[in-house]
Chains A and B, each alone.
Chain A
Amino acid sequence: MSFSDKHSVGADLATAPGRLVRRWAYTVLTAGAAAGLCGVLGASTPALAGDVRGQLLLGAYHPAPPPKPARPAYNWEVENGVKEVARERVPAQRELAAVLIGAGDSKLPERIEVPVSGGALLPSTVVVRTGMTVRIRNDDEIGHELYVEGLDGFSAEATSPRAIRSVHLTKPGDWPIRDRLTPHAKAHLHVLADLIAIAKVEANGNYTFSDVAPGKYTLKVFHGPQIVASKAIEVGDKTLTVDPLTLEAAAQAAAKPSP
């Protein structure tokens, strides 16, 4: 609406005052008619879906380091001696997943595409609803063989560069994803029965759920196999901005997602 108004005003500035009045009148009438139509339609249909926005506070989040392997992963890891090393931050875009869980129908598509980039899945925390199909697209220049131990249909299968493989997931639960050809690559798969929406997490921790039906949900943030934030929200017909969420490594002890 405001864009239209500005656009109209901008146009009228170049016309004569009489034409300006007529245009104003036309615009007001059109807007009024539209508003009236919307009111009628609104009375006869459910509330409109809205967006949910928020931010994850990454600065204070220091996840527990992974268990030390029996054989060290390197011989040398020392500072370069020239410049102070950069501060460690969790790569939120690559490793975190923010989802809404609750009752009701989900508008999630039947298929989602997850790329393999930089040697591992992006993001490495994959959350899907039961019955969805995950299309794994290999964006790397080398092949991968992703697999999940103990999950039917997700056995090791070679995926060449630029190729895609599909995995249909019907069994709720969570499993680590491994890659035979890139041993360092680690990802985690969550298959939830009551998943409503999946947000795209930006590198700075911002996230957005689009087109969420009004209702009560639980916002959960997954990091690998663990839940690092959880908050109950109620979505109305307007965009909901959730207070910034603090990620707590200690809260990882929270129960695993109910399938």
Chain B
Amino acid sequence: MLLSRFWYLFLAVSTAAATGAALLAQGIINDKATEQVTDQLRRDRVELDAMLRLEARARLDRIGFITVDSKLGSLLKQAANVSDEKQLGKLSSDTKEVLRSHVARLIEAAGPGAKEADVAPDIAFALDSDGRIIAQLGPLEANPPGSSLATYPLVDRALHGYVRDDVWVYDRRIYRMAARPVLSGGEYVGAIVHGYRFDNAVAEKLSQGLGGVTLAFFYGTNVLASYAPDDMTIAPPLAEVEAPLSQVLTDERWKKGESTEPYALASHGRALYSLIVGGAAAANVGYVIGRPLHLIAQPQEIFQNASQQQVHQLPLPILGGGAAALALIGLMFVYFERDRPYKVLLKKIGEITQGERDRLLVTEWRGLYRKLTDQINQAIDKSVEKSAEMAPTTKKKANLDEILGPTPQTSSEPYFGFAADSAGAAATPAAKPAAAAPPKPAAAPKIVPAATPMPGAIPAARPMPLPVPPKPVPATTPAPGNVSTASMLGVSLSPEPDEQDEDAHFRETYDQYIVTRQQCGEPTEGLSYEKFEVTLIKTRDQVVAKHGAKGVRFSVYVKEGKAALKASALKN
């Protein structure tokens, strides 16, 4: 069963390894997916900045023609040193009309397909050389002229001759601004500044430019504009990306002006927050890009996520063949180590039942089967012993006497028995040898019953007659695997053995011992009969001297898988 056990162990380890591999794969796949989304968000941020940069350039270029308008330049030049409200009002009104006409031209230049709301600025200023508002369009256009925008870096740089963009917080609104200087007579006489608010249309356009992300622009915790694709599998909902805003504002990276690390959203998505490029960044104006993240919750989802192509690419014959081979190996181990011995055991037990054999040969088996056969043998022995005790002795003796002659009296208890590791050990006498030789056996053939079986011993199924004059029944060498009980037994001698009988008994015992040792797989080299005989004689003498026995009978049995000898004293 060793291979089967190893096979079970192998299968268990393999199963644990496969489960562990699946769990590891789940973690690895999830980590990879998270990493990919994180990288994608960083790329999105770079791309979005680039798109906003291009859009800013377009706004700057859009108003290029205004800055060289002579009428506008002239009006701004006139307004430069005017402080009189009435005069300034008149100039403001004229400038505003010019500004309106230019906005109309902007819309016209955008083409018929362009939406007016997309082209017309939400706010526009015409500034004099000091940065004073001479005219403006937008929510505050009703205000009187004269207010200044001089400290705004965008305005300051435009008045110096630069073309520049910015993002403003102006009157609590956020504008994407652009400014150009106005030239008149070779001088800088002012600037044109215009701006667009962040609206959902812009957010949608930018989102689509990024492949359909969730995108929102915010001012502090207030969302200015946002867009999320309808398909939530490709973008997390807006509410999720807006939820961490208050937390984002306290983020250390955010405070340093850096974009945040991606935030985990409730739906496993990720959102990256970044400040806008422009002065409004100082007022926490920024944007958030959200992307979904599909994580594997259970290892089996790995297979659910596999595509048909990936399934088709699997080496199914190899996998199937491997599985079949593994199963076959397991079945083979089970057959050879369990099923087949079991069948053989059943067969041999059946032979016992049918009387074809008396006992099981322990040496045929290994491991648990050896123990099992040993136990079965012991059970048989016990059963036989019990049956013998319960049966009337006289009747049995009588019957035996009828068949084999008078039964000698023998001790029911074994006097001497030992398991021999070797021939020498077996021959070691337990006591000093007796001085007198055993008496001669009677001339008539006698039947000696088998000695009381010891555990593991192979008792005789029936007594064997030992004719004194003729040769005793020789021990027959059993075929391997089918050793008869008789041949395994100690050979019985007549109750009054003479020297010749004793020699025959010794010879039989020797032969049987040699055969049993061979069957037990023990070495027999150097175990000569002469040595064996000396040992038996010594033992016989000791037993006779100690117990006053008439003789001694030796029997061979197997103890713990090894051949052993047992000496039984013959009384009377």
Contacts and interface: CB of A to CB of B under 8 A. Distances in A.
Contacts of A140: 147-148
B149 A83 contact: no
B157 interface: yes
A74 B160 contact: no
Interface stretch (B278-286, B426-434, B446-454): B278-286
B53 interface: yes
A120 interface: yes
Nearest to B182: A80
B162 A77 contact: yes
Given A182-B169, A184-B153, A83 B188 contact: yes
Contacts of A81: 163
B183 interface: yes
Contact of A183 (B131, B159, B169): B169
Contact of B149 (A69, A94, A119, A124): A119
A74 B67 CA distance: 20
B151 interface: yes
A158 to B, nearest CB: 10
Nearest to B152: A119
Nearest to B52: A75
B161 to A, nearest CB: 3
Contacts of A77: 157, 162-165
A108 B140 CA distance: 38
Interface size classification for chain A: 35 or more
A115 to B, nearest CB: 10
Interface stretch (A40-48, A56-64, A84-92, A248-256): A84-92
Contact of A75 (B57, B148, B157, B161): B57
B60 A76 contact: yes
B120 interface: no
B215 interface: no
Contacts of A76: 53, 56-57, 60, 163-165
Nearest to B181: A80
A79 B151 contact: no
Given A75-B53, A76-B60, A143-B171, A69 B281 contact: yes
B68 interface: yes
B437 interface: no
A70 B256 contact: yes
Interface in B172-188: 172, 180-181, 183, 186, 188
Size category of the binding interface on chain B = 35 or more
Nearest to B282: A183
A117 B133 CA distance: 12
B357 to A, nearest CB: 97
Contacts, number: 127
Interface string B49-67: 0001100110010000001
B508 interface: no
B256 to A, nearest CB: 6
What's the dominant secondary structure at chain B's contact region?
Answer: mixed
A142 B181 contact: no
Contact of A142 (B53, B170, B275, B279): B170
Contacts of A71: 257, 274-277, 281
Given A70-B258, A74-B278, A118-B148, A79 B161 contact: yes
A75 B186 contact: no
Interface string B259-280: 0000000000000001111111
B170 A183 contact: no
Contacts of A231: none
A124 B156 CA distance: 15
A150 interface: no
A142 B123 CA distance: 14
Contact of B165 (A74, A79, A182, A185): A74
Contacts of A73: 153, 166, 277-279, 281
Contacts of A74: 153-154, 164-166, 277-278
A151 interface: no
B171 A69 contact: no
Nearest to A85: B161
B388 to A, nearest CB: 106
B150 interface: yes
Contacts of B140: 141-142
B250 interface: no
Contacts of B154: 74
Contacts of B147: 117-118, 139-141
B150 A119 contact: yes
Contact of B152 (A139, A141, A184): A184
B307 interface: no
A78 interface: yes
B313 interface: no
Nearest to B142: A141
B161 A80 contact: yes
Given A83-B186, A142-B170, A120 B151 contact: yes
B310 interface: no
B148 A119 contact: yes
Interface string A99-124: 00000000000000000011110001
Contacts of B281: 69, 71, 73, 183
B83 interface: no
A72 interface: yes
Nearest to A139: B147
A118 B60 CA distance: 23
Contacts of A94: 150-151
B160 A70 contact: no
Contacts of B186: 83
Given A70-B256, A184-B152, A184-B282, A79 B57 contact: no
Nearest to A82: B183
A141 B133 contact: yes
Nearest to A180: B283
B165 A75 contact: yes
A181 B285 CA distance: 12
B92 to A, nearest CB: 13
A141 B165 CA distance: 22
B163 A79 contact: yes
Contacts of B298: none
B143 interface: yes
A82 B276 CA distance: 30
Interface-central residue, A73, A75, A76, A181, by most chain B CB under 10 Å:
A75
B282 A82 contact: no
Given A77-B162, A79-B162, A141-B133, A184 B148 contact: no
28 contacts: A69-B281, A70-B256, A71-B275, A73-B277, A73-B279, A73-B281, A74-B164, A75-B52, A75-B53, A75-B277, A80-B162, A81-B163, A83-B181, A83-B186, A84-B161, A85-B160, A86-B159, A86-B160, A86-B161, A88-B160, A118-B131, A118-B147, A119-B149, A120-B151, A124-B151, A142-B140, A180-B283, A182-B169
Given A75-B165, A182-B169, A184-B151, 15 more contacts: A70-B257, A73-B279, A73-B281, A74-B165, A74-B278, A75-B56, A76-B165, A83-B186, A84-B161, A85-B160, A85-B161, A88-B160, A118-B131, A118-B148, A180-B283
Interface of A: 69-86, 88, 94, 117-120, 124, 139-143, 180-185
Closest 7 CB pairs of A and B: A70-B257, A118-B148, A85-B161, A183-B282, A118-B150, A120-B151, A183-B283
